[in-house]
């Protein structure tokens, strides 16, 4: 059995990634924070298609919760390991820089960057032992260009590009690849909340997108999932330390 852990797998991009990796033959461990209903929906969809998965709720910003949950998993799977880790979970707390409260700053950093540290550090030793592994970090084009009200988001996403490059060279000789995916605008709850915070309707936003996204449309979670699926596959065995944008040409 090949195991893949997808953080934030209950909704949006993480759900599409979980479903696609299950189609690719992985037993998918679906992490989420609190939306049990959405997570159950992802699980049911995988199982209805004949795939295998389980739910693993924990808060990716809480090191104790991460350690306890993953220790239990490894203890009950003594001969197995997590071969693919997708660091996808993230929250946004968009605001003008001068208005960002300390609590919101740390929430975004903890659930994006620190989560990478705690979770990757726990799953990497077994990947090294097995000389096989994939770590895929979900960054954002906000890592490479600026957006008003998103300084905290850019801080995390740009940091993920740095850690991807640095870690990739540390583990390359062990046949472990570390890559980042940088989505542009993808229609999910995070994005719907962003529109709401800016008082922009979905219809209105589509008109705007046509003006500045060369492909004149917003992306789909399934398109990001296809890229992650490729990076997790043997076809991508010689690709590491890369950041691949998937944004309809937005950041070109
Ligand atoms: P989303 O629809 O809001 O889903 C967020 C997911 O993360 C949910 O599964 C949520 O779990 C989980 N999550 C949030 N905080 C968590 C925590 N502390 N612990 C565990 N799980 C947590 O978001 P999305 O749009 O799919 O975004 C996924 C990733 O892509 C994020 O890192 C985001 O920054 C990045 N991204 C998105 C876009 C975009 O346009 N959508 C663009 C660029 C990058 P619950 O269901 O339990 O809340």
Q: Which CATH class is domain 3-185+220-246?
A: alpha beta
Chain segment 89-147, per-residue pLDDT in tens:
999 998 999 999 999 999 999 999 999 999 999 999 999 999 999 999 999 999 999 99
Residues 88, 3: Cα–Cα separation, whole Å: 16
Task: Give me the sheet containing 176-183, strands edge to edge.
Answer: 52-57, 27-32, 3-6, 82-87, 133-138, 176-183, 243-246
Question: Using one digit for the tens of pLDDT, what is the confidence trace for 9-26?
Answer: 999 999 999 999 999 999
Beta bridge partners of 56: 31
User: How many beta carbons lie within 10 A of that of residue 241, not counting itself?
Assistant: 16
Residue 185's CB: how many other CB atoms inside 10 A? 19
Q: Strand, helix or coil at 30?
A: strand
Give the rounded distance of the alpha carbon of 163 from its chain centre: 14
User: For 90, left (φ over 0), alpha (ψ -120 to 50), or beta?
Assistant: beta
The pLDDT tens digits for 45-100 are: 999 999 999 999 999 999 999 999 999 999 999 999 999 999 999 999 989 999 99
Ligand 1: residues within 6 Å at CB? Answer: 7-8, 10-14, 31-35, 38, 59-61, 88-91, 111, 138, 140, 183, 185-186, 188-191
* Phi then psi dihedrals of residue 107, to 5 deg: -60, -45
| Residue ranges covered by each domain of the chain | 3-185+220-246
Among 6, 7, 8, residue to substitute to test ligand 1 (most atoms within 8 Å of Cβ) = 8
Can you tell me the distance from the alpha carbon of 106 to that of 102, in angstroms, rounded to the nearest whole number?
A: 6
């Amino acid at each position: 059995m090949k195991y893949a852990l997808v953080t934030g797998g209950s909704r949006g991009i993480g759900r599409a990634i979980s479903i696609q990796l299950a189609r690719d033959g992985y037993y998918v461990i679906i992490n989420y924070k609190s939306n049990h209903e959405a997570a159950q929906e992802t699980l049911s969809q995988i199982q209805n298609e004949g795939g295998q998965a389980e739910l693993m709720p924990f808060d990716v910003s809480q090191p104790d919760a991460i350690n306890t949950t993953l220790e239990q998993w490894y203890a009950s799977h003594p001969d197995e390991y997590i071969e693919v880790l997708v660091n996808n979970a993230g929250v946004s707390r968009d605001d003008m820089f001068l208005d960002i409260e300390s609590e919101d700053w740390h929430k975004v950093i903890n659930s994006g960057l620190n989560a990478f540290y705690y979770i990757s550090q726990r799953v990497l030793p077994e990947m090294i032992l097995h000389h096989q592994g994939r770590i895929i970090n979900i960054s954002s084009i906000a890592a490479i260009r600026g957006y008003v009200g998103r300084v905290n988001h850019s801080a995390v996403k740009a940091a993920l590009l740095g850690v991807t490059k640095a870690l990739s060279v540390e583990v390359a000789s062990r046949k472990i690849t570390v890559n980042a995916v940088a989505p542009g605008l993808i229609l999910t709850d995070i994005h719907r909340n962003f529109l709401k915070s800016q008082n922009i309707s979905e219809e209105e936003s589509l008109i705007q997108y046509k003006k500045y996204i060369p492909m004149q449309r917003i992306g789909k979670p399934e398109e990001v999932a296809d890229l992650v699926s490729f990076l997790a596959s043997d076809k991508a065995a010689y690709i590491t330390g890369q950041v691949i944008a998937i944004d309809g040409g937005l950041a070109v």
